[in-house]
Amino acid sequence: MSIAQTLQGRRFFVTGGTGFLGTALIERILRTIPESSVVLLIRPGRRTTPMDRAMKEIIRNDCFDRLRDELGDSFSSQIESRLDAVAGDVTRDLLGLDEEGLAKMSTCDLIIHSAAAVSFDSPLDQAVEINLLGPSRVGDAMAAARELAQVHGTNGPQHMIAVSTCYVASTFQGEAKEHLLGDHRFDLDVDWHREVSSARRLRDDLESESRRSPVQDEVTARARRELGAAGSHVVAIRAEKIRDEWVKERLVEAGTTRSQALGWPDAYPYTKALGERALVEQHGPKSTSPLPISIVRPSIIESALSEPVPGWIRGFRMAEPIIVSYARGLLKEFPGVPEGIVDVIPVDMVVADIIAVAAHGPADKEVAVYQVASGVRNPLRYGRLVELVQEWFTERPLYDDQGQPISVPAWSFPGRGRVQRQLKRATSGIDAIERILGALPLRGRQATLSAELEERNTIAKRALGYVELYGSYTETEARYRIDRSLALFDALEDSDKATFAFDPGVIDWDAYVSDVHLPSVVRHARVRTTPGTQVMADRQDRGRAAVLSPDRQLAVFDLENTLMASNVVDTFAWLASRHLPLSRRASFVADLVKDGPQLLALDRRDRGDFLRSFYMRYEGAPADQLRADAWELFSEQLLLRSYPEGIARVREHRKLGHRTLLITGALDMVIAPLAPLFDDVICARLGEKDGRLTGRMQELPPIGEARANVLEDYADANGMKLSESVAYADSASDLALLEAVGFPVAVNPEARLALIARRRGWLIEDWHRAKGGSSRTFPLGPLDAKQPGASRRISRGVTR
Amino acid sequence: MSPRPGFVLDVDRSTPPTLMWKGESFGLQKLPTGSRVIYAPEPFDALEDPETAIREALENPTGDQIPLSAQLRSGMRLTICFDDISLPLPPMAAPDIRQMVIEAVLDAAAAAGVDDVVLIAALALHRRMTEPELRHALGNRVYDAFAPHGNLMQHDAEDPDNLVHLGVTDKGEDVEINKRAAESDLLVYVNINLVAMDGGHKSVATGLASYKSLRHHHNPSTMRHSKSFMHAPDSALHTANWRMGRLIKDSGVNIFQIETTLNTNTFPDSFQFLQKREWEWNLRDRVSFQASSRALDAAPKKMARQILQGIKAPHALRSVYAGEVEAVHEKILTDVWAQQGVAVEGQTDIVTMGLPYICPYNVNSIMNPILVACLGLGYFFNLYKGKPVVREGGVAILFHPTRPEFHPGHHPSYIDFFEQVLTETKDPVVMSEKFEEAFATDPWYIHLYRTGHAYHGVHPFYMWYWCAHAMEHLSKVIIVGGDPATVRRLGFHPATTLDDALEIAQDTVGAHPTITHLHNPPLFLSDVT
């Protein structure tokens, strides 16, 4: 009987369906096995049902394009009737299934457990919960489902296939056979219970350590450094994130340390190995609750050879970051020995192997292990892979930001240590430059530059991680035997051999790498494959088009450094000196300069305190005089320091029918001449008594995160959606404001904001003063054309 | 020694290099042998007693007008309008001629017991003048007597409350002008007739008009049919203004026109070499040239600009007439041509001009690229009577750095015009149809024009229309030393040297073109036969 006939009408329970292997598996089952159906175990989202998630994350993947074409109109109805999803999680006992979920599981015939934490930088405890305890939890749930089925007079699941990895065999040399662990003389006898409790305890310890001084202090300080005076709430959110990362980093490190001590390259194979052992101990033939189990161990899974389409891949797999880093010129060398073997297996072969095992059924009184790997039968030599990659990118180079082709370096097969040292030197160099740049008050283009540097740093760091990890895999000298898989393959009917091909002997590596894998990697890596600067321009144009779509409702603008290069200090200097005779100007400037550092420090600490204290300088100033002078200030000073592109943008929004709003800490009288540019203005106002200013603000203008609240109220009051609004600001202290809207725009961002904007893909605008505009650093009002009798003093700051 | 007339020099091998303006600097340029250089006549002598001349003019009106003093009486409304910052160029050393004339008029008014007197700067769509500029034009005495009481006004072409629609001409042109001026018992207009285009009916019909009224003659079609606007009979611009002026007169506005001519003494002592013929430079001129050209080249751009904008011209009053608009204007034109006219025989393939740092619209400001085009193609090109110095299909070569610099306070709409309009079209007709109205009615530009010191939103269009006749006439415009991207944005060709420019011109005018250089300033008007 063929595989399709054997499995016809069967119901599969699948974990890990949203993963690379899982997606391919589900697609193949639904496409090739008639009347089969699948129940997925899906982690519930906060607002989505498991089925929604399944549709969004699995069925919408391009993996299903072929099936969609084949089925045409009946695709949705087929999926609806043959696909079901239950809420659950492999990190919880009995998979966290509710009654209904368990009942659904009990109607299944087969269980395929492919959920795993495969990423090399998984925290240890997470890897332990998913990879180590996951398989036995699936076993527990299977046992419960079988009991439930018996109550209902049915059989329940008859076979569990647990997906593991060849690398469980640790880094020993020689042949790794399709044996259970513990059967080999070199296997360490590790007590997995201990490993579990230690990992959990480590998480608890780190969690509490991170909440105490000095870690908590450092974390908060770093968040403040990053965001500045953005507001305590925003800083707190950022600090929590940094703290989480701190804990995670230490757990990743702990995982690597422990794994390497036991002879595995990292936490993934280590936890998978112990997971196999735990499964066998709890549900193996010799256990108290024996279950029919098979284990399939693939090597490194890469893009599909032919099913559903050649080159299909999901997510960023292990080798891709390295290949892309190399093609982008970030990675000059890659460790490894040319004659070493890279054990890669296309995803469709792994899927075929699993389905063949499912059709074959479990072994009697034994946990059968099937390895699916290419190294022994049809080895891909590392040297050959490198040559192919090099040739490929020499012919089709990637392009840098300037649209220039990047030439790939010749690979010299250095040792791993050397590459790591190189990369570390590079990243620490970038780190240092970045620290310096971050400390400088950069804006606009320079700030964007430092953001680019940071991005390169991230890529280099990621590549370093992969080199560390991947290096140990290429250096693994174990040879994974696949005798049992091959025997299974040989026993297949001829038609199945074509439909469910998993004999790696048929792979033509040259063709696979050049025609299938690399094109797919490049397609998925979002890298530039065409010359010219068009792509950058396109991105900018798209961003602008989105911001200036007629669908937008509200555009809110910050003033200082967003629309003009001016601030409360220099407007004060101008106004206060406007009627000052020449003889008194020097001492006025000296006074203001003397207070400079103190003002600057205050501004950095708390913008509200700064404004409150600074505006006191206006105490006693004649209000009408100031109002009149403000118009002169505007045309002689502010307008000259304005960014014409910014002013044009405000007007463009208005022309499109968007409402425009200015939020600023500047004084109402100072910005009065600018007010007609906007529909509304929210600004600071000083009290007035007997025609003189009191120096006290009538209400504090919104600053930092308060701006987001004010904006929210404003949008509500005007029946507008923030998700359809645009905000323009220049500094990380306006983060809350920018985050509040659907379309944030960083204008001439200072370094911290530039970084954030770049990471989040926000539109960045580089607006300049008109060439020819004023560039005086310390602007004083002009001398009176003809000095009136006595000069009118407007402020305490002057009389002091 | 009486001043020598202007003349046309033929460049031969012994001719020294010619002074060439390049915006905020100048240098010496060797012109190809066989080129012609047109030199302005030397400045006429100043009137010995300008105050008396002015008083006499006021009391002995020209044409059908009664003497000023006979028209002044207690209880009347008197409005004195005057030309704005765009005249004269460079601004003249104090006392400004406006101050002298207005003080004479005010003396007469005071003697007659007139107390309702208002001064209005006739801005049209130009920027409002600043306090120092007004003080310079009027003198402190006049300023302090009028400004604090709100009696010194600047015409606001966007103030609906202070405009009056006087009617429509037989060609369908709206005539809408300043209400206070129109409704006064007597409107005195004080002109400075720097070139032949100024004055006449244009003073009131343009200087005090609204956008609604101005657009009838400030448009591509009128400009293309003004050949040139320095010679009223051939100028559609003037024909329209004359129609409007007559309508204004017919609707009962009593205009007492005062027109003045200045001599062409353009540069102060230290810069005398700028208006001398190069082969007559003495040692002092050579030293001044070396010192000032090097200083300007070495100084930061901003400082060079400040130095040059600080120049006050020693212009002196040459003649003054008062009375009925057309009669006064006719007399003044004779004087303008006498001082500035140069007879030029035959047209040329290529005209070259060194553009100085100043034009009517960047006094105390920045000469932006649009103004560069306007100064070369709108003004210098049009300083002719009969036919242009350069033949139809010829080439103009301008010398100017043409940097993309703008004064954001004075020329905000120019910035957007440069970025939004010139990127789409250079065709005056297309832009007038597609963009003009949006700029002209933009509330932000109107706000800046009315409350700040910005030119009206539509003004850059007018500057471009000003070039329309030249653009149609010429086959190519080349800017030597211009910023390439900016020059291309204007639709012109950038070149680094005159030789490059001649090379670029070759495909249009051949390998051996005739070349004529306009040695301007001092200003002159070519009478081309």
The per-residue pLDDT for B401 is: 96
Tokens of A673: 């001449």
The per-residue pLDDT for B388 is: 96
d(CA B223, CA B200): 18
Q: Region A150-160: what's the mean pLDDT?
A: 89
Tokens of A674: 């600018």
- The answer to whether the Cα torsion of A457, A458, A459, A462 is positive or negative is positive
Tokens of B317: 């009053």
Contact of B375 with B483, CB cutoff 8 Å = no
| Sequence letter at residue A475 | E
Mark which residues 226-265 of B lie under 8 Å from A by CB. Answer: none
Residue A680: band (very low, low, confident or very high) from pLDDT cuts 50, 70, 90: very high
Q: Region A768-794: what's the mean pLDDT?
A: 61
B431-B437-B443 Cα angle (round to 5): 130
Cβ within 8 Å, pair A786-B419: no
The per-residue pLDDT for A583 is: 81
List chain A domain ranges.
Answer: 3-188+265-324+333-381+477-512, 196-262, 543-785
The larger pLDDT score, comparing residue A501 to residue B178, is at B178
Contact of A716 with A726, CB cutoff 8 Å = no
Identify the DSSP state of A399.
B
Q: What are the distances in angstroms from CA A594 to CA A50, A474, B162? A: 64, 64, 50
Ranked by mean pLDDT, the top range of A32-36, A498-502, B37-41 is B37-41
Contact of B351 with B390, CB cutoff 8 Å = yes
Residue A56: band (very low, low, confident or very high) from pLDDT cuts 50, 70, 90: confident
The per-residue pLDDT for A381 is: 83
Instruction: Report CA dihedral (B16, B20, B26, B30) to the nearest 10 degrees.
Output: -40
The per-residue pLDDT for A338 is: 74
Tokens of A552: 């937008």
Residue-by-residue DSSP string for B361-393: T-TTS---HHHHHIIIIIIITT-EESS-SEEEE
Asked if A776 is an interface residue toward chain B (Cβ–Cβ < 8 A), one would say no
d(CA A768, CA A763): 16
Residue of B nearest to A632 (CA): B452
Answer yes or no: is pLDDT of A778 > 80. Answer: no
d(CA A112, CA A354): 8
The per-residue pLDDT for A451 is: 61
Nearest-neighbour CA in chain A from B372: distance (Å): 15
Cis omega before residue B90 (within 30°)?
A: yes
CATH architecture of the region B50-262: 3-Layer(aba) Sandwich (3.40)
State the CB neighbour count (10 A cutoff) for residue A432: 10
d(CA B229, CA B208): 19
Q: What is the largest CA-CA distance in chain B?
A: 71
Q: Report how far apart the first and last C-alpha atoms of chain A are (Å, whole number).
A: 101
Q: What are the distances in angstroms from CA B417 to CA B256, B439, B449, B461? A: 38, 8, 16, 8
Strand-strand pairing, B36-39 and B7-10: antiparallel
Strand-strand pairing, A680-689 and A692-699: antiparallel
- Select the residue of A639, A651, A677 nearest B409 (Cβ to Cβ): A639
Tokens of A361: 């059924």
Answer yes or no: is pLDDT of A457 > 70. Answer: no
The per-residue pLDDT for B425 is: 96
State the CB neighbour count (10 A cutoff) for residue B245: 26
Place domain A3-188+265-324+333-381+477-512 in its CATH homologous superfamily. Answer: NAD(P)-binding Rossmann-like Domain (3.40.50.720)
Asked which of A224-233, A444-453, B214-223 is least confident by mean pLDDT, the reply is: A444-453
Answer yes or no: is pLDDT of B305 > 60. Answer: yes
Asked if B400 is an interface residue toward chain A (Cβ–Cβ < 8 A), one would say no
H helices within B412-466, ranges in order? 412-416, 428-434, 436-440, 443-451, 459-466
Answer yes or no: is pLDDT of A478 > 90. Answer: no
Nearest-neighbour CA in chain B from A640: distance (Å): 5
Residue B103: band (very low, low, confident or very high) from pLDDT cuts 50, 70, 90: very high
The per-residue pLDDT for A186 is: 53
Contact of A171 with A273, CB cutoff 8 Å = no
d(CA A619, CA A153): 90
State the CB neighbour count (10 A cutoff) for residue A763: 20
- Select the residue of A634, A648, A775 nearest B452 (Cβ to Cβ): A634
CATH class given for the domain over B7-43+341-528: alpha beta
- Select the residue of A644, A785, A786 nearest B412 (Cβ to Cβ): A644
Answer yes or no: is pLDDT of A98 > 80. Answer: yes
Contact of B322 with B61, CB cutoff 8 Å = yes
Residues of chain B within CATH 3.40.50.11440 domain(s) are 50-262
> Three-state SS across A507-546?
CCHHHHHHHHHHHHHHHHCCCCCCCCCHHHHHHHHHHHHH
Looking at beta carbons, which residues of chain B come within 8 Å of A673?
451-452
State the CB neighbour count (10 A cutoff) for residue A415: 14
Residue A184: band (very low, low, confident or very high) from pLDDT cuts 50, 70, 90: low
State the CB neighbour count (10 A cutoff) for residue B307: 15
Residues of chain B within CATH 3.90.226.30 domain(s) are 7-43+341-528
Strand partners, B303: none
pLDDT tens readout for residues B411-466: 999 999 999 999 999 999 999 999 999 999 999 999 999 999 999 999 999 999 99
| Sequence letter at residue B10 | D
- Nearest by Cα to A16 from A91, A93, A80, A121: A91
pLDDT tens readout for residues B247-276: 999 999 999 999 999 999 999 988 999 999
**Strand arrangement, sheet containing A763-765:** A692-699, A680-689, A659-667, A554-557, A725-729, A743-747, A763-765
Q: One fold for both A3-188+265-324+333-381+477-512 and A543-785?
A: yes
pLDDT tens readout for residues A65-87: 888 888 888 888 888 899 899 99
Contact of B379 with B73, CB cutoff 8 Å = no
Instruction: Report CA dihedral (B331, B337, B339, B343) to the nearest 10 degrees.
Output: -150
Nearest-neighbour CA in chain B from A630: distance (Å): 11
Residue of B nearest to A678 (CA): B444
The larger pLDDT score, comparing residue A551 to residue A466, is at A551
Nearest-neighbour CA in chain B from A535: distance (Å): 21
Q: Region B471-485: what's the mean pLDDT?
A: 96
Cβ within 8 Å, pair B131-A640: no
Residue A800: band (very low, low, confident or very high) from pLDDT cuts 50, 70, 90: very low
pLDDT tens readout for residues B356-401: 999 999 999 999 999 999 999 999 999 999 999 999 999 999 999 9
Nearest-neighbour CA in chain B from A768: distance (Å): 12
Answer yes or no: is pLDDT of A616 > 90. Answer: no
Ranked by mean pLDDT, the top range of A345-354, A569-578, A612-621 is A345-354
DSSP, collapsed to helix, strand or coil, labels residue A461 as helix
Suggest the residue from B24, B447, B483 to mutate for an interface test with chain A (most A CBs closer than 10 A): B447
The per-residue pLDDT for B257 is: 97
- Select the residue of A640, A676, A786 nearest B444 (Cβ to Cβ): A676
The per-residue pLDDT for A105 is: 92
Query: Cβ contacts of residue B100 below 8 Å, gap of 6+?
Result: B50, B51, B54, B317
d(CA B375, CA B521): 12
The per-residue pLDDT for A799 is: 34
Residue that is written with structure tokens 């099937």 in the block: A370
- What is the percentage of chain A residues whose pLDDT exceeds 70? 83
Mean residue pLDDT across chain B: 95
pLDDT tens readout for residues A269-324: 889 988 998 999 889 888 888 899 999 999 888 888 888 888 888 876 656 767 77
Cβ within 8 Å, pair B412-A771: no
d(CA B413, CA B408): 8
DSSP, collapsed to helix, strand or coil, labels residue A228 as coil
- Residue B451 backbone dihedrals phi, psi, to 5 degrees: -110, -25
Cβ within 8 Å, pair A772-B451: no
Looking at beta carbons, which residues of chain B come within 8 Å of A660?
none
The per-residue pLDDT for A705 is: 77
- Nearest by Cα to A694 from A799, A612, A609: A612
Nearest-neighbour CA in chain A from B442: distance (Å): 9
Q: Region B343-352: what's the mean pLDDT?
A: 96
Asked if A634 is an interface residue toward chain B (Cβ–Cβ < 8 A), one would say yes
Query: Cβ contacts of residue A628 below 8 Å, gap of 6+?
Result: none
d(CA A691, CA A620): 9
H helices within A475-493, ranges in order? 483-490
Cβ within 8 Å, pair A770-B415: yes
Answer yes or no: is pLDDT of A119 > 90. Answer: no
If you count residue pairs, one on A and one on B, with CB atoms under 8 Å apart, how many are there? 67
**Strand arrangement, sheet containing B348-354:** B7-10, B36-39, B515-519, B348-354, B390-399, B476-480, B493-495
Suggest the residue from A564, A639, A651, A775 to mutate for an interface test with chain B (most B CBs closer than 10 A): A639
Looking at beta carbons, which residues of chain A come within 8 Å of B453?
635
Mean residue pLDDT across chain A: 82
The larger pLDDT score, comparing residue A377 to residue B354, is at B354
The per-residue pLDDT for A418 is: 62
H or E element that contains A344: strand A344-346
Contact of B324 with B62, CB cutoff 8 Å = yes
- Nearest by Cα to A111 from A146, A75, A67, A161: A161
Q: What are the distances in angstroms from CA B315 to CA A282, A314, B96, B189, B260? A: 109, 81, 9, 20, 12
H or E element that contains B412: helix B412-416
Residue A791: band (very low, low, confident or very high) from pLDDT cuts 50, 70, 90: very low
Nearest-neighbour CA in chain B from A746: distance (Å): 22
Tokens of B462: 């007018």
- Select the residue of A645, A771, A786 nearest B406 (Cβ to Cβ): A771
Looking at beta carbons, which residues of chain A come within 8 Å of B140?
786
Residue that is written with structure tokens 């979002």 in the block: A526
The per-residue pLDDT for B395 is: 97
Answer yes or no: is pLDDT of A790 > 60. Answer: no
Residue A792: band (very low, low, confident or very high) from pLDDT cuts 50, 70, 90: very low
Asked which of A379-393, A736-750, B344-358 is least confident by mean pLDDT, the reply is: A379-393
The per-residue pLDDT for B387 is: 95
Residue A419: band (very low, low, confident or very high) from pLDDT cuts 50, 70, 90: low
Q: Report how far apart the first and last C-alpha atoms of chain B are (Å, whole number).
A: 29
Residue of B nearest to A782 (CA): B132
Looking at beta carbons, which residues of chain A come within 8 Å of B450?
none
- Residue B396 backbone dihedrals phi, psi, to 5 degrees: -110, 130
Tokens of A159: 């076979």
The per-residue pLDDT for A704 is: 77
The per-residue pLDDT for A61 is: 84
Q: How many residues does chain B have?
A: 529
pLDDT tens readout for residues A427-442: 666 566 555 555 555 5
| Sequence letter at residue A92 | R
H or E element that contains A297: strand A293-298
Cβ within 8 Å, pair B135-A786: yes
Nearest-neighbour CA in chain A from B407: distance (Å): 6
Asked if A40 is an interface residue toward chain B (Cβ–Cβ < 8 A), one would say no
Residue B16: band (very low, low, confident or very high) from pLDDT cuts 50, 70, 90: very high
Annotation: CATH topology of A543-785: Rossmann fold (3.40.50)
Query: Cβ contacts of residue B86 below 8 Å, gap of 6+?
Result: B126, B360, B361, B363
pLDDT tens readout for residues A304-319: 888 888 888 887 665 6
Residue that is written with structure tokens 């290099």 in the block: B17
